[in-house]
Amino acid sequence: MRGLSSDIRALVAAGALVLLLGGFEMVRPGGISLSHLSGGLVTIDLLIRAGIFTIILVGLNLLMGYAGQVSLGQAAFYGMGAFFSAILTVKASVLGIPAVVAKAWWWPWLVMGGAAVLVGGFSFVVGWVILRLREHYLAMATLGLGVIVYIVLRENLGMPQLNLTGGFDGIVGIPRLRVGALAMWPEARYYFLVWGLALLTIALGLNVVRSPVGRALRAIHGSEAAAESVGVVVPLLKAQIFALSAALASLAGSLYAHFQAAVVPDTFGFVPSLELVVMSAIGGMASIWGAPFGALAVLVLQEVLRTRVLGLVPVVSGEMEPVVFGALLVLIMMFWPSGLVSSYWGRMAARGGGDGPAAGGAPSQQGL
Amino acid sequence: MRSVAEPATTELPARTVPGPRGPAARAPAARRLSSRGVLGTASAVLLLVFWALGRRLGYGLSEYLQLLVDGTVTGSVYALVAVGFVVVYRVTGVINFAQGAFVMLGPMLAITFFRTLGGSGGLALAAAAAAAVLATALVATAVHRLTLHPARAASALTRIIITVGVYISIQGMGLIVWGPRPYALPAFTTLQMADRLVTVGGIAVQAQTFWIWGTAAFTLALLALFFERTVVGKAMRACAVNRVDRMATLAFGLAAVLGAVGGIVLSPATRPTYDMGLELGLKGFVAAIMGGLVSFPGAVVGALVLGVLESLWAGITLSGFKDIFAFVMLIIFLLVRPQGFLAGKGEVGH
């Protein structure tokens, strides 16, 4: 029971923080925004993107950190959700969907939910097949899957005459979300929507981890044969968790599409999949609370690299970002394979500093 | 595809090598046979599809031969890259994603050195290429010493992600140093940007094609000699059982040499860019998987088969879908036959 109550306390604290930041941005006391306070680093825009990534990362952490199944192609599901929403709202007329339906306020929400269900179902079937593979074989298969989905999106689903995905250029003019007459916009409103869903996702993730399912997942991570011997239906559970992570990524993709109002396939390629792994690694794969920290850490770091470091090195013709990014991935994997954030919480807990948010949830410090 | 695969099984002595930890490694013999049957049927169907689609486009024998020749050119480069994957995997048990970075560093450094040397003359070109290969090998050994060596106790996956990080970093440096634009290396025969075309039986072949074939064959023959005849080479093969650190560094250097040579010899025929390593690295990896990841002949055959099939596929479908083929092959091979199509009894698995 102690674990449960600490979860609820952490969720309440996180919710309060979300409300505080969002409320601050809405009121802007004395005309000061978050961007002013942080020297342009933390904007409401960045917080929204962090919320979107948090939703993906909770799924990815369940899959990689708890079940021990690696995905190097998670951006594919993110992209599928984004393009589902984009195509069915912008190109509805091409598909013969009547304008009455396509223009209704509930249509994008229906598409969002439908996309998550479809992508989840698709990945359940795919997962059932490819999750038989272990370790690096699985990593490579998911990588291949990610590249295939990316190319299919880039090449207009193989049907250039319909031009559904818009090829390299993607789709622009995706409508904002509404509830009845209430628009989920400006950004501060969208922020509340995204973080509300992100906190729900975290609650869901914590629930999964604390339930018997979570114990079964950790058993799979430890030894599949042993898990099987105590009655865990390993292939089913792996496919289910893969489907859940894909559905969450799809949901995040839809939220991203309605946030950016434009989607291009390059956002969902091979490198973005790796970025998700980096975020997961930084936050700590075997930690649900690692998700928001990993997302925020990476986004802020990218912002620093883009706006600060580039000015310090005047000769460079390209961007420093990938160099530092890659080096960071190497260093984290070498020295903190269980993640920066959860390593910290783990130490705090070991020192007797009470239960940090991640302390109760981390099954082990072995990481991958 | 089958006819190529069959005789080669006899050339492979049963060695003690780390088998893939895929499910099929533990599969009974009957299962293996059936997976082979699946693969044979699939390739027959694939050839039929190629033939049918080609007929629709009005392809004759010469068109197919042209596509075949083109396929063996990229296939030869895939072979060099793929063998690099196998060298590292056999010694360290790691899939070395950084291999793609070395495929990029080779030609980019060669072009830079060539310009430094005045930018003309065969001697300068040869010297630049040799220096580039050496420099790439040095980078690779340094990378291994600094990253994978300290992390040698970590799990295979952690180490694979480390090599991914190395790849991203080196490619990022490539972008900073060389920018996003494509570069060019003169053709080896003419020493000009324009290459000589050789027409044989109605098929136009660039003179560089012969350089690519020749270099790949020569390099792989040298490697085979190294493994069969030298003490170090034999020791490296033994490392597959007892992984010795120095051998791992050497394997990284060797893989980088193979990748750099492949990238350099290909670059007069294509235009090298800072991000060329991603595609060549991944395709080389797919070829290595097709060969079972532990077999050198398997990787070479896998590379040639992949190159040719990909070329045929690109010739008869939308060009944008060219790159999908390799990844579909990747997933099929991982699922149906992770031990590669050359593997016979006793080749993999314990």
Residue B341 lies in a domain: no
What is d(CA A296, CA B268) in angstroms, rounded to the nearest whole number? 44
Q: Which residues touch B343 (CB under 8 Å, ≥6 apart)? A: B9, B12, B292, B295, B298
Any idea what DSSP says for residue B349?
-
Domain that holds residue A131: 45-350
Contact B94, B88 (CB under 8 A): yes
* DSSP labels, A4-39: HHHHHHHHHHHHHHHHHHHHHHHH-GGG--HHHHTT
Residue A194 lies in a domain: yes
Q: What pLDDT, in 10s, does the model give residues A254-299?
A: 999 999 999 999 999 888 998 898 899 888 888 899 999 999 998 9
With bands split at pLDDT 50, 70 and 90, how would you rate the model's confidence at B65?
confident
Residue B343 lies in a domain: no
pLDDT of B17 over the 70 cut: no
With bands split at pLDDT 50, 70 and 90, how would you rate the model's confidence at A368?
very low
Q: What is the count of structural domains for chain B?
A: 1
Residue A102 lies in a domain: yes
Residue A357 lies in a domain: no
pLDDT at B239: 66
Q: What ipTM does the predicted assembly reach?
A: 0.79
Hey, are the CB atoms on A155 and B320 less than 8 Å from each other?
Answer: yes
Q: What is the mean pLDDT of residues B272-281?
A: 91
Residues facing A183 on adjacent strands: A178
Interface test with B, best of A330, A335, A336, A368 (most B CBs within 10 A): A330
What is d(CA B191, CA A193) in angstroms, rounded to the nearest whole number? 62
Cα-based angle B80, B306, A163 (whole degrees, multiple of 5): 120
Q: What pLDDT, in 10s, does the model give residues B220-234?
A: 999 999 988 888 888
Residue A19 lies in a domain: no
What part of A 116-145 touches B (C-beta under 8 Å)? 129-130, 132-137, 139-141, 143-145
CATH number at residue A338: 1.10.3470
Query: Cβ contacts (< 8 Å) between B21 and chain A: which residues?
Result: 134-135, 137
Among B158, B160, B323, the residue with its CB nearest the CB of A151 is B323
What part of A 294-333 touches B (C-beta under 8 Å)? 316-330, 333
Contact A329, B168 (CB under 8 A): yes
- Taking the model in full, what pTM does it have? 0.83
To the nearest whole percent, how much of chain A has pLDDT over 70? 88
Query: Is A27 in the B-facing interface, judged by CB distances under 8 Å?
Result: no
What is d(CA A197, CA A204) in angstroms, rounded to the nearest whole number? 10
Query: Cβ contacts (< 8 Å) between B23 and chain A: which residues?
Result: 132-134
What is d(CA B259, CA B107) in angstroms, rounded to the nearest whole number? 10
With bands split at pLDDT 50, 70 and 90, how would you rate the model's confidence at B292?
confident
Residue B6 lies in a domain: yes
pLDDT at B319: 65
Interface test with A, best of B324, B325, B339, B348 (most A CBs within 10 A): B324
Token pair in block for residue A121:
């179902």
Residue B62 lies in a domain: yes
Hey, are the CB atoms on B165 and A281 less than 8 Å from each other?
Answer: no
Burial state string for A187-210 with b = 16 or more CB within 10 A and e = fewer than 16: bbbbbbbbbebbbebbbbbbebbb
Domain that holds residue B27: 2-336
Residue B49 lies in a domain: yes
Contact A235, A219 (CB under 8 A): no
Q: What is the count of structural domains for chain A?
A: 1
